[in-house]
Amino acid sequence: MRAYERLIRYARVHTTSSDRTGTHPSTARQFDLARLLVEEMKQLGIADARVDEHCYVYGTLPATPGCEDKPALGLIAHMDTAPSASGENVQPQVVEYTGGDIPLPAGGKVLSPRQFPVMDTLVGHTLVTTDGTTLLGGDDKAGIADILTAIEHIQTEQLPHGKLCIGFTPDEEIGEGADLFDVEGFGADFAYTVDGGAAGEIEYQNFNAASAKLEITGFSVHPGSAKNLLVNALTVATQLHGLLPASEAPEHTEGTEGFYMLEEISGTPARAHMEYILRDHDAAKFARRKETMRRAADFLNARWGEGTVQLTITDSYYNMEEKILPHFHLVENARAATLAAGAQPVTVPVRGGTDGARLSFMGLPCPNLGTGDFNCHGECEFVSAQQMDQVVQILLNIIELYSK
Ligand SMILES: [Zn+2]
């Protein structure tokens, strides 16, 4: 079976996660795909395939004779789809792409190379699109399909390999995919998440991330007699925002430039609440951003009275680069495997986080690989069947490199 055919089966299973339920998994429907995958893994000869109570799917292929001393390699993808678009009743369309616009059958949307220039590089490919009313869920069911298709090749062609550990997680899209991942039970020395975009993407740098919450307490008096008395929490909030560099916002930054982003602001003269996210690839600059935030709060407390501004900064995740550099063979082998599969390795610092970043700090170094999926999280999502084939070959090449 080709990887895109597997994807089409998985895409029909509704697995949208939710950041509102607070349960693990966040939505019970993710078990529907988990059970289907356990069944399929068993058919592929992964005898210990299982799903745990929190909807994490694990399974291992023991090393083939002669490869017992080779490193244990993990391959990880996620089962949930983003809550930002509907993932219910997904109707994948298979299109033999000859160029130009692709009309999506429902909803009146069109996939156009004018909007998505990457389509020009995919003429002659078999594309799988949505029907225009849902996302496709190639993020990250394409990753699951790539991994299990590679396993199928290994089994039917009896390819030699070290111990292989397969993991499929729930709730990646709400930032919780790594939370209950059993790194020890997984049993891998290192792993790859297969959760990127185009075939050939290799990602091992991501943001350092923190959130900052501010509670601002004003002193409310009648405006007619407010002179030298009123402390307007809303004014203090705007002053705080004014103390941050205006150019260091997401809408003005790219590449490895970090930012502050105001995500929430609400209040009255008596009380205001603000929430920021802070991002930077560079650890020292990340620390300076947090310091800038603290100094702004200190300044306003000195100006308006101690306790006016209460600041809480919480780290969210860190740049995995420091955990990957000591195992840089992960990147070098991925590059060699990509070139050998006829694809171009592309490494771009991720302006976000990955589950692999969290896993890297949990003791499982874990760069991220492309899947063959494009425009994730919306109705314009599609995959290239040929790029998915290429990802399967990249995975097989990586497995071969680690069995030598
Ligand atoms: Zn993903």
pLDDT digits (tens, 9 = 90+) for 48-73: 999 999 999 999 999 999 999 999 99
**Distance in angstroms (rounded) separating the CA atoms of residues 209 and 64:** 41
User: How far apart are alpha carbons 216 and 241 in whole angstroms?
Assistant: 13
What is the arrangement of strands in the sheet containing 309-317, beginning at the earlier edge strand? 259-267, 271-280, 208-217, 309-317
Q: Are residues 302 and 236 in the same domain?
A: yes
Give the residue from 317, 338, 370 where a domain finishes. Answer: 317
Are 224 and 356 part of one and the same domain? no
Asked whether the beta carbons of 83 and 19 are under 8 A apart, the reply is: yes
3-state SS string for 282-339:
CHHHHHHHHHHHHHHHHHHHHHHCCCCEEEEEEEEECCCHHHHHHHCHHHHHHHHHHH
For residue range 243-287, what is the model confidence (pLDDT) as tens digits? 999 999 999 999 999 999 999 999 999 999 999 999 999 999 999
Q: Which of 317, 352, 384 is the last residue of a domain?
A: 317
List strand residue ranges (DSSP E) for 37-174, in order: 50-51, 57-61, 73-78, 93-96, 102-103, 110-111, 126-129, 164-169
Residues 293 and 379 in one domain: no
- Provide the edge-to-edge strand list for the sheet that holds 368-369: 50-51, 57-61, 164-169, 73-78, 190-194, 368-369, 202-203
* Position 210, amino acid: A
User: For residue 158, how far is its CA from the centre of ligand 1 (angstroms)?
Assistant: 30
pLDDT at 150: 98
* DSSP-derived secondary structure letter, 118: G
Domain of residue 225 covers 208-317
Q: Are residues 251 and 388 in the same domain?
A: no
Domain finish residue from 317, 345, 374? 317
Residue 353: the pLDDT is 86
Could you tell me the pLDDT band of residue 108, with boundaries at 50, 70 and 90? confident
Distance 367 CA to ligand 1 centre (A): 13
Q: How far is the CA of 197 from the centre of ligand 1 (A)?
A: 9
Is the domain of 168 the same as that of 56? yes
> Please, which residues bridge with residue 399 across strands?
none
Instruction: State yes or no: pLDDT of 99 exceeds 90.
Output: yes
Cα separation, 86 vs 377, whole angstroms: 9
Q: Which residues make Cβ contacts (< 8 Å) with residue 338, sequence separation at least 6?
A: 199, 200, 202, 344, 345, 394, 397
In percent, the amount of the chain with pLDDT more than 90 equals 98
In contact, 373 and 381? CB cutoff 8 Å: yes
**Mean pLDDT score across all residues of the chain:** 97
Regarding whether 300 and 158 lie in a shared domain, the answer is no
* Whether residues 223 and 262 fall in one domain: yes
Q: Helices 385-401 and 3-11, interaxial angle, to 10°?
A: 110
Who has greater pLDDT, 199 or 354? 199
Could you say which DSSP state residue 62 is in?
A: P
135: closest CA among 387, 371, 383, 376?
376
Same domain, 140 and 179: yes
Q: Report the CATH number that the domain containing residue 161 is assigned in CATH.
A: 3.40.630.10
Mean pLDDT of 313-327: 96
Distance CA 344, CA 162 (A): 26
Asked whether residue 256 falls in the same domain as residue 396, the answer is no
DSSP class of 72: P
Query: How many residues are there in the chain?
Result: 404
Per-residue pLDDT at 247: 98
Catalytic positions, please? Answer: 80, 172
- Integer Cα distance of 3 and 302 in angstroms: 61
- For the residues 1-25, what does the mean pLDDT come to? 97
Q: Residue 34 and residue 22: Cα distance in Å, rounded?
A: 19
Count of domains forming the chain? 2
For residues 285 and 389, state if they share a domain: no
Which amino acid is present at 396?
Answer: L
C-alpha 55 to ligand 1 mean position (Å): 16
How far apart CA 114 and CA 38 sit, in angstroms, is: 41
Q: What is the predicted pLDDT for the residue at 399?
A: 98
Ligand 1 center to 366 CA (angstroms): 14
Looking at residues 213-232, what average pLDDT do you find? 96
Q: Are residues 187 and 227 in the same domain?
A: no
pLDDT band per the 50, 70, 90 thresholds, residue 354: confident
pLDDT for residue 395:
98
Report CA(177)–ligand 1 centroid distance (Å): 10
pLDDT value, residue 234: 98
d(CA 155, CA 149): 10
State if pTM tops 0.85. yes
CA distance 147 to 168: 10
Q: Tell me the residue type at 74.
A: G
Beta bridge partners of 217: 271
* Averaged pLDDT for residues 14-25: 96
Asked if 362 contacts 167 with a C-beta cutoff of 8 angstroms, the reply is no
Give the CA-trace dihedral at 168, 171, 172, 173, to 10 degrees.
140
323 and 365 Cβ atoms separated by less than 8 Å: yes
CA of 11 relative to ligand 1 center, distance in Å: 14
CATH number at residue 305: 3.30.70.360
User: What is the model's pLDDT at position 107?
Assistant: 80
Same domain for 15 and 109, yes or no, is yes
Q: What is the structure's pLDDT at 146? A: 98
Pairing mode, if any, of strands 73-78 and 164-169?
parallel
Under the banding of pLDDT at 50, 70 and 90, the label for residue 376 is very high
Residue 25, preceding peptide bond in cis (omega within 30° of 0)? yes
Tell me, in angstroms, the distance from the centre of ligand 1 to residue 401's CA: 26
CA 311 – ligand 1 centroid, Å:
32
